[in-house]
Structure 1
């Protein structure tokens, strides 16, 4: 690629792995593809690097209770180890935990194809939040949250003989909770095996964590490393920093496309806005290429967590003939999910992380440099079918200064859900719980204060009966759980069920990319908008959807996501079943918006703000400056004096999301223990 020589330095940190069944590297994607499709599934499985370690893994699982597996990207750890255990006639159920729902579903389908079975058979199944497809399978893929819910009904996981925690290097909130819980469970169940797996992992730290406190200082955990990438990966750095990495990503992708090098491209950006912006720019270039009749055509797919699942699946499709696929993704594509055909990686070098502010009880999305572990993980997406290339949009000196690992989520997040779960699991003293990394005391204190204000715990820190125990059983934010449980008393459970269900999907509105469609979408949205705010607007959208007999045509006309609305229906049905189990009547407010809003205030009262004389909103506690999200229905109308919000996101400013207009006296009426009126 001669165009890159003035800008990129020489290849550096080249990673090379020889295909174990080949004497030379293969350098033609078409050849590799034709070769692979001619093989049987079994032959393909044998070619995976982890196959050479099959007997070693089974031996270590017999000898040790915990196996720390450092398996490089592409080695086959997520799909093959459960199959090896089944083939070795391992007793009981084998559970595999993934941090993301898309990974759990795609891996279950992949294994189902390999073993020639259907998902939801006795062999393979999956379970994710508000969606399950299994029938007591031997191999069960699930998200971490699902396993924690199972622990609430079966604290020792007696139905499982082995659990695999995958992609542990991400150190999500639930990952750390599960590792702390498993340290307790393994002492009670000597027959349970735990596999802690990741591509980039501080294995010694985790080995010491699981060994510490063992009887007679006997080692119960061990480490195994498995090579992964079968082909070399060349890494290029910038010679000078770029002013805008989004534009640089687009330019780099187009230069790769103009070269003779085959293979699809994966671009890593930080958030939905950047992904949409880069996708729009690339689609414009794709249209120009089509019109000019050039041969090097491209097809562009976005990939992020807020996309409907069927849109996320598009990235796994092969590009049409004479097209190169370009996937623009957030860090959702960094782990677990393997997109076929990817040869070129473009890494912007940044990531957006949630960071909790204990003063305001709000989350902020902070733009931070990625860690070296994440950079290597991103690079690992290349080199799967042939030699790959990684283009890092930062200098080599910048890489050397990056932190080794990303801060665990447990030290930078709201802990209200964590404490509620641990209390429900019988962990009375949270301070003594064995977290791999201890969360800040101020975060624990803040969470306890909120739970006490919500009446989920009493003054001694114990769960209240029945409210606290009932709130813990919901797979929801404690504030939303409190609202649902209060809805019967306020006489609006029908409407609250709908609102809370809609808040569980990223958005119910589609976001057109062209200017004319953006204007049309805005006009159509106004048909549903009400001055009370976003949450009651959502209620109007849902009512219209039901009145249209759940019509796809209605959604298309009004720029509403049909898939999201169908998902809302599924979630609502499940939540309604839970409410009925608690004996809460399902009744309607019959058009009384005041009842609905007061019910919302009963749970969201900590998230209240008032209009300051300077023209901005400020939190009552902490006096933090807030702004109305441009997507809110309140953005273009006269600003109300008092509002509550569901969350705060920090992009360029602190923006309130999902806002509802309230009266200040409702705060004093419904939360007198939290607010008082000064003279």
Structure 2
């Protein structure tokens, strides 16, 4: 094996100063920056210890001979950070694009590669582009999210600026993953010099190879190759419960405390299903952590949350080392299952459940369903414990239940609302969606439902072609088409400022904190009434944000009113970026000055498929599909007199189908604003 002589680049004082000016970093960040650069030699030694280092020449050879390389290697083997560097060292021309399913992965990997290459992030060598935070230059190695790459294809259909594209963590099979796999297959046929690396921890490599080889010329029959990289996995002991847990959130908390009091040093990673559960567990564990601090015990813990809606600077805290005498405890959703390797994890707690979206094509609604994980996901979670040494995985379910789990999680393409997918493909010039080559073809009913909704939104015409300019403009927004339609209509109703706020509030999972004790729960409910209005949740969100801004975004205001400060800061960031995009598309920024009827009417223009009425039986039913729905207990409408007609933003399925984020409307507005979708009939009962 050839030994590579790595020469780290150390920054001059002027370069360091320039970097600090651009990033507006603090003195601590400046110290870390210089420190990391002078540790480049250490990082280069670590690079050579990675399992993928032994396959360096194999990777470069296969990419010379084949257009597609399907790379199978466990998370932590180095594929996401090393392959781009190998290509740069081999002097591949043009850019190297690395596509990640989550922004935290793109940012953390870019930082890591920049450290290893002795440069700074967002420079000419390494950069990243995520939603609302993109590099303005063209770095040699560019980490990005899947949505960013899709929008780049809209502007440059053949990706002429890139010589290699790497799709990472393909086994997650998100909507964007399947779209990009289909698009890259078409692009590769046009650009023979372009190379594609499909990387994954657990994936059926032969199926992907057949997908890319199918339809190829006889001369290019073997256009793809498979390479498996041996991991560096330590043994992991799997422990099961003898009896099912009555509450997996409380069992997670109990297991963390048990590990902390009885097991050897090592960080803990616990998996839960969503933000609310994570915040609840974090709140309880921090109370225990404060007790350990007061008693000055040795086994102190530092609790950190990890979920997609968390601001990225908060997510990056999980990668930092804790002080001596502390054990790091990370409570996460499945965002920590793949994509990133969190250092120091020795113990994993698997609740056995995951929250997934399932689309009902009859009601045109997505339902968030908490369901058991698959065996592949359970094994992936367990593998988190074997990265640094012998680990343990505590599964909060019985061994018999594990045997009953499905082998793999269904791809998002076959269980999701495809409205945004169809809109994106139409914008890319793909007129016949049914003939598009999906790795996992979606149900035809879901595609039909998506086309119907886009037609009702006046985004496509009767022939299925995008209407210019509205259809193309909506495709540029990285939000649900229902929301982008509301935003583009807001200028006509004179309430674009309020609509920007409401849509931004809907981009976070929850803006409220949930106390665990009875007295605090009652107090939080009383404080929330200061913002509640009879028009529903969305106008309540508007009141909350307005009060937050008037308080000058004060953290004490949030604490007093039981509002999630981090979520509100995220809302402010999203709103700022949406406002810039609105100005680019000439949407007039107008305030309705408290005219809630104008806001509610504007909401009808986009959310009209999600209309429900109060049935004489006392339950709500959707206008289309006649599905029984209930008001979610967290809604402001739960404790007041039930309105006759309302709109909902999403449906959550637990014991019942619950509607969330509600707005009270007048049924006449549906006939007035969307007569092409609703019409009035008379029903005779015989």
- TM-score (ref. length: structure 1): 0.90
- State the 1:520 CA deviation: 4.2
Q: 1:128 to 1:594 in 2, by over 3 A?
A: same
Q: Counterparts in 2 of 1:235-254, with a 5 A limit? A: 235-254=238-257
Q: Which residue pairs with 2:670 in the alignment?
A: 667
Q: Which residue pairs with 2:420 in the alignment?
A: 417
- State the 1:553 CA deviation: 4.5
Q: 1:669 to 1:344 in 2, by over 3 A?
A: same
Helix, strand or coil for the counterpart of 1:84?
Answer: helix
Structure 1: 5+ residue runs without aligned partners? 1-36
Q: Which residue pairs with 2:174 in the alignment?
A: 172
Contact 2:347 2:385 (C-alpha < 8 Å) held by counterparts: yes
Q: Which residue pairs with 1:52 in the alignment?
A: 54
Q: Which residue pairs with 2:529 in the alignment?
A: 526
1:607 corresponds to 2:610: yes
1:645 corresponds to 2:645: no
- TM-score (ref. length: structure 2): 0.89
Correspondence for 2:465 among 462, 469, 483: 462
Q: Which residue pairs with 2:85 in the alignment?
A: 83
Helix, strand or coil for the counterpart of 2:301?
Answer: strand
Q: d(CA) in 1 for partners of 2:654 and 2:177?
A: 26
Range 367-376 or range 414-423, more displaced: 367-376
- State the 1:502 CA deviation: 2.2
Q: d(CA) in 1 for partners of 2:571 and 2:254?
A: 39
Contact 2:40 2:116 (C-alpha < 8 Å) held by counterparts: no
Q: d(CA) in 2 for partners of 1:608 and 1:313?
A: 40
Contact 1:125 1:134 (C-alpha < 8 Å) held by counterparts: no
Correspondence for 1:325 among 317, 325, 328: 328
Q: 1:369 to 1:557 in 2, by over 3 A?
A: closer
Q: Deviations over 1:200-245 (max 9, x none)?
A: 0110000000011111152111100112224333333445544443
Contact 1:121 1:134 (C-alpha < 8 Å) held by counterparts: no
Helix, strand or coil for the counterpart of 1:599?
Answer: helix
Q: Which residue pairs with 2:18 in the alignment?
A: none
Q: Which residue pairs with 2:17 in the alignment?
A: none
Range 301-310 or range 461-470, more displaced: 301-310
Range 640-649 or range 321-330, more displaced: 321-330
- State the 1:516 CA deviation: 5.0
Q: Which residue pairs with 2:625 in the alignment?
A: 622
Q: 1:506 to 1:281 in 2, by over 3 A?
A: closer
- State the 1:62 CA deviation: 1.0
Correspondence for 1:115 among 98, 117, 120: 117
1:500 corresponds to 2:503: yes
Q: d(CA) in 2 for partners of 1:514 and 1:306?
A: 25
Range 113-122 or range 515-524, more displaced: 515-524
1:62 corresponds to 2:67: no
Q: Which residue pairs with 1:145 in the alignment?
A: 147
Contact 1:626 1:656 (C-alpha < 8 Å) held by counterparts: yes
Q: 1:483 to 1:69 in 2, by over 3 A?
A: same
Q: Counterparts in 2 of 1:348-497, with a 5 A limit? A: 348-497=351-500
Q: Which residue pairs with 1:29 in the alignment?
A: none
Correspondence for 2:545 among 542, 553, 563: 542
Q: Which residue pairs with 2:350 in the alignment?
A: 347
- State the 1:561 CA deviation: 4.0
Q: 1:248 to 1:143 in 2, by over 3 A?
A: same
Q: Which residue pairs with 1:125 in the alignment?
A: 127
Q: d(CA) in 1 for partners of 2:550 and 2:401?
A: 56
- State the 1:414 CA deviation: 0.1
Structure number with greater CO (CA < 8 Å, separation at least 6) is: 1
Helix, strand or coil for the counterpart of 1:351?
Answer: strand
When the two chains are superposed, the root-mean-square deviation of aligned CA atoms in Å is: 2.2
Range 311-320 or range 65-74, more displaced: 311-320
Q: d(CA) in 2 for partners of 1:281 and 1:485?
A: 43
Q: 1:526 to 1:133 in 2, by over 3 A?
A: farther
Range 529-538 or range 663-672, more displaced: 529-538
Q: 1:388 to 1:134 in 2, by over 3 A?
A: farther
Q: d(CA) in 1 for partners of 2:429 and 2:245?
A: 52
1:106 corresponds to 2:99: no
Q: Which residue pairs with 1:193 in the alignment?
A: 195
Contact 1:125 1:140 (C-alpha < 8 Å) held by counterparts: yes
Q: 1:388 to 1:593 in 2, by over 3 A?
A: same
Q: d(CA) in 1 for partners of 2:124 and 2:184?
A: 26
Q: d(CA) in 2 for partners of 1:586 and 1:255?
A: 54
Q: Which residue pairs with 2:591 in the alignment?
A: 588
Paired residues in the alignment total: 643
Q: Which residue pairs with 1:154 in the alignment?
A: 156
